[in-house]
Structure 1
Amino acid sequence: MLTKYILLLFFILVSSMEGEANRPNIVFIIADDMGWDDVSFHGSDQILTPNIDLLAYTGVALERYYSHCVCTPSRSALLTGKFGHVTGMQGYPLTNGEDRALPITEKIMPQYFKEQGYATHLVGKWHVGQSRVEYWPTSRGFDSHFGHRGGYIDYYEYDLLETWNIGEVSGYDLFRNLSVAWDVKGYITDVYNEEAKAIIKSHDITKPLFLMVAHNAPHSGNEQAPLQAPPDVVRAMRHIELPQRRYYAAMVKKLDDSVGDIVRALSEKGILENTIIVFVSDNGGLTSQTGANYASNRPLRGLKTSPFEGGIRVNGLIWNKNLTQGQHLWKGYMHVADWLPTLSRAVGIVPPVNIDGIDLWESIVSNGESKRDLIIEIDDYTGFAAIINGDFKLVTGDVMPNYSNYQGHTFKGIAGSGPSYADSIEKSAVYSVLSNLEIPFKHADTNLRNKIKISCNVDTSSKEICYSGNGTVCLYNIKEDPCETTDISAVNPDIVGKLFGRLQIEFKRAIPRIKPHESNLNALPSLHNYVWNVWRSSDTSSNNM
């Protein structure tokens, strides 16, 4: 009771803060296409992520954190607090040749915080519109943007290759605000890491900081070189059996190093103790298929682009020094759309209304019940939908079997005993930083690895696995069967009917996508000095205006 009282008191004090400078800083770090089994606090001994893990052990790990199954919808939901289908951003992610964007009529996260005196910065990926200047980050509430505007880039050359009807099309996609960043050199994870540290170092502490670091890692690169990492880091992963998984592990290692460096930079700036740090993945990993990065969502079923748990149940944690005295594992449902109201409340701002996101701050702080009991996934491009309500999950429409099965079990091979997890923790940057704070990290809940680890007896060769489509639906008790092995729709027609009815309400709210995945020849990089740059003026009609 005393612990809960202290945490609730903290919540009240934060909520009643007056003055811009006293508001907590926010650093929001997004991994791209990172699998459930690719952070070691979920139990993996193959890929170690000690910096990320320590934030979970001394903060709050989110056991049931959900996102949309692909990047553009998940980032749209994050920024607006609305489900992707409500803003017309559902389904297949934006390509660089589309004249489509998150509608400019939507007020988004950096705008809310900027109004409250925050310095707002984005480092890394945008991916919610780039054909017009008014779609760019600096037109939508960010004071600065350094990064790529599209879905991914080559880790060294910073270009993006797309295949159009006319053939392969390539262009440079790295910008500093409105200008092409031709002068940049280096591995992109390191480049973004240095930029994030520079922003923290130069930050005017009389204002609160809102910094979003949206890494390219560990998304795959272009088809000709999908997995890229410095050779010495790859070589250090020789304990991993499969070479493609070894490259992926090195990409994750560089991502984890960046998390540690950012925490150290906050500490050196003297603002860590008044900072809220969030780490999430935008969606599940892509183990195989086109654009695979060899991530693993094991033992969850499905990949990125699927409505099964491997596509939408993802890594998530929140850290603040004042959260460390409580429960380090929160079991409630949370959706990516909830971050806008939750972080607003966390820093003493009245959360916006008329959104799908729910303010979960008090529930997380007090380890209480979640106010969210509804998760929605609609993809009218592919033609599937899913709904989670309470203990049950319904999947309908046409899913893609190759993206909806069990994968990753062949990736787990380790040569020898592998690296020492305890050593990796003690050698990490976050461990060093926490040693200077009054945080009982030496007694941190490292047993959380066992508490959050999902174990399922899955027969990956079984032909009895349910795939929705052609009138077939799949129903699961998602609490008892997180790996979605047993369809219970036949014996629970009442639950199927209830969930299907609720899903129809969301279909009526959905804004249909207009000409999805259609590239315009005016966007050809060859017309713009081989850059994926602005190609349509603001006075031209658009379905997003």
Structure 2
Amino acid sequence: MNKFLIILSLLWFTGCSQSKESKKPNFIFILVDDLGKEWVETYGAEEIETPNINALAENGITFNNAYSMPQCTPSRVALLTGQYPYVNGWINHYDVPRWGHGVNFDTTKNPSFAKVLQDAGYATCIAGKWQINDFRIEHDAMGKAGFDAFCMWTGYESGNKPSDKRYWDPYIFTKEGSKTYDGEFGPDIFSNFIIDYMTAHKNEPMCVYYPMVLTHSPFVHTPHEPEAKTKYQKHKAMVRYTDFIIGNILKSLKELHIEDKTYLVFTTDNGTSPGIIGKRDSVYVRGGKSYLTENGINAPFLVITPDKQHFKTDALIDFTDVFPTLLDLAEIENKTKASGYSFAEILKGKTKESKRDWILSMGGLSAKISDDDRMENWFTFRDRVLRDEQYKIYTDTLKQIVRVFNLKKDPYETQNIIDDVAAKSILQKFKKIISGLPNKDAQPKYSRTIDSLYNEPVEKLNCCGGPKGARKNNMMKLATEEMFLKQLQ
């Protein structure tokens, strides 16, 4: 009898433990590089087929009003930290490997969602594009950011030509260091790494962040379409290959039997390259990357939830909301200074409205190199846009509203109604919001100057595959503001 009671007790405690563990959901967060809604079929794209991405919408939640930032770096840092660029300082599209100005992503001051989840017991993984730290200098950058496992394109490293490759013959950084994978296609390496990690950690809560290298230029042929020749053909091939990879991940979730405890998010960091034109809902749309227009920042945003919530919503969300949402879903107290608001209640199907009255995007102008080798913004207050459910305003660098659009009547922003009598109340509303924003945007934190950073011993710079003999002269290509701006363009 005593043995029977002991067995019952053990079963009861085991059941409680498993029940408690099941409350921790998995997170698979997919961030595509440079892809606007005009190239996602479920959002009305007419010149592409994306059946696997469509499946996300058909089995999940479709967000119609999700703001990214207009360029790569501001979007990624806002996403990781839950802070707007005017708070974290990462306003421009400059990454350390390319510009090399001693700037580093300070994970102690700006913890990522991965770090917070890792500290709460999550297994964490990242594969794809980072570009926020220089791995030659900070070999432990991914660990400090909160990732147990990583497989990363380093971003182009000045003076190290092989590092330019992210697609064919990619140059990739792992715990073993950096090297070129001859004859291989980078997106396959990254996606296989993700799927292998999901397989190895299927029995524990995990957070997988997959910032794809697709569909950013250079435009290339893919394993499925080697005959693609023109830029347009290659772009379409890359979008189709993105969809193929999404399909593989969905298939893996099903085969691993973890669909019912996983949130999968699909979005993009900004609009398509301006050199590419797509057709959406019978309208030809030029790519909006680097612009604050809707085609540059109103990103596709699809979520599959464990209980397969299925609906469309006009709820206002932006990239700063992801951080608090993941913590909320994981039932982790948010002790950070994240700017965003959780939209977990939407994902749980309890509402279709967000906690927000407005969303914001910024980060489309250039910067300059100061006399002491620091990157600085041209203006103390950067231009930005804000919108509510109907109206969108543009501000200039003097905190003045310069344009107003009624997005419900004018989704392509063709009629500035700032002088209309009906816009007066709208102006007053947004002026009040703007007055509450800081007068001076934050700057990134710089740990070292160029001289101290690039006069390291050769063997230290070369520890992770960097070029032998790397020095300031052959690593720093942007000695003037004019050269910097030319490269930025």
TM-score computed with the length of structure 2 as normaliser: 0.76
Contact 1:36 1:296 in 2 (8 A): no
SS in 1 for 2:439: helix
Structure 1 residue aligned with 2:106: 103
**Structure 2 vs 1, CA of residues 80 and 472 (structure 1 numbering), >3 Å: closer, same or farther?**
closer
Structure 2 residue aligned with 1:233: 225
Specify every segment of 5 or more residues in structure 1 that has no aligned partner in the other structure, as ranges.
1-15, 162-170, 221-225, 399-468, 537-545
Q: Which amino acid aligns with 2:130?
A: W
Q: Does 1:148 align with 2:79?
A: no
SS in 2 for 1:76: helix
Q: Which amino acid aligns with 2:200?
A: S
**Structure 2 vs 1, CA of residues 45 and 381 (structure 1 numbering), >3 Å: closer, same or farther?**
closer
Deviation at 1:189, TM superposition (A): 1.2
Deviation at 1:498, TM superposition (A): 4.1
Structure 2 residue aligned with 1:391: 390
Q: Which amino acid aligns with 2:346?
A: S
Q: Which amino acid aligns with 1:189?
A: P
Deviation at 1:142, TM superposition (A): 0.5
SS in 2 for 1:196: helix
Specify every segment of 5 or more residues in structure 2 that has no aligned partner in the other structure, as ranges.
1-16, 367-381, 472-489
Structure with greater Cα Rg:
2
Q: Does 1:323 align with 2:254?
A: no
Q: Does 1:486 align with 2:415?
A: yes
SS in 2 for 1:278: strand
Q: d(CA) in 2 for partners of 1:525 and 1:229? A: 39
**Structure 2 vs 1, CA of residues 111 and 234 (structure 1 numbering), >3 Å: closer, same or farther?**
same
Structure 2 residue aligned with 1:138: 143
Contact 1:130 1:149 in 2 (8 A): yes
Deviation at 1:475, TM superposition (A): 0.8
Q: Which moved more, 1:23-32 or 1:172-181?
A: 172-181
Please give the root-mean-square deviation of Cα atoms over the aligned residues, in Å. Answer: 3.6
Deviation at 1:294, TM superposition (A): 6.1
SS in 2 for 1:371: coil
Q: d(CA) in 2 for partners of 1:296 and 1:216? A: 23
SS in 2 for 1:473: strand
Contact 2:150 2:174 in 1 (8 A): yes
SS in 1 for 2:189: helix
Structure 2 residue aligned with 1:215: 212
SS in 2 for 1:487: coil
TM-score computed with the length of structure 1 as normaliser: 0.69
Deviation at 1:66, TM superposition (A): 0.8
Contact 2:155 2:163 in 1 (8 A): no
Deviation at 1:127, TM superposition (A): 2.4
Q: How many residues align?
A: 420
Task: After superposition, give the CA deviation of every residue in 1:501-530 in whole Å (9 maximum; x if it has no partner).
Answer: 522432436203579xx9779559996459
Q: Which moved more, 1:254-263 or 1:354-363?
A: 354-363
Q: d(CA) in 2 for partners of 1:394 and 1:151? A: 36
* Aligned-pair identity (%): 24
Q: Does 1:194 align with 2:177?
A: no
Deviation at 1:332, TM superposition (A): 0.7
SS in 1 for 2:35: coil
**Structure 2 vs 1, CA of residues 85 and 158 (structure 1 numbering), >3 Å: closer, same or farther?**
farther
Contact 1:174 1:180 in 2 (8 A): yes
**Structure 2 vs 1, CA of residues 64 and 256 (structure 1 numbering), >3 Å: closer, same or farther?**
same
Q: Does 1:244 align with 2:231?
A: yes
SS in 2 for 1:368: coil
**Structure 2 vs 1, CA of residues 17 and 339 (structure 1 numbering), >3 Å: closer, same or farther?**
farther
SS in 1 for 2:321: helix
Deviation at 1:532, TM superposition (A): 5.2
Structure 1 residue aligned with 2:406: 477
SS in 1 for 2:384: strand
**Structure 2 vs 1, CA of residues 295 and 130 (structure 1 numbering), >3 Å: closer, same or farther?**
farther
Q: d(CA) in 2 for partners of 1:20 and 1:185? A: 42
Give the alignment partner of residue 258 of structure 1, picking from 229, 239, 245: 245
**Structure 2 vs 1, CA of residues 128 and 61 (structure 1 numbering), >3 Å: closer, same or farther?**
same
Q: d(CA) in 2 for partners of 1:471 and 1:210? A: 41
Q: d(CA) in 2 for partners of 1:296 and 1:193? A: 28
Q: Which amino acid aligns with 1:213?
A: Y
Q: Which amino acid aligns with 1:180?
A: S
Q: Which moved more, 1:22-31 or 1:178-187?
A: 178-187
**Structure 2 vs 1, CA of residues 263 and 302 (structure 1 numbering), >3 Å: closer, same or farther?**
closer
Structure 1 residue aligned with 2:358: 374
Q: d(CA) in 1 for partners of 2:333 and 2:399? A: 46
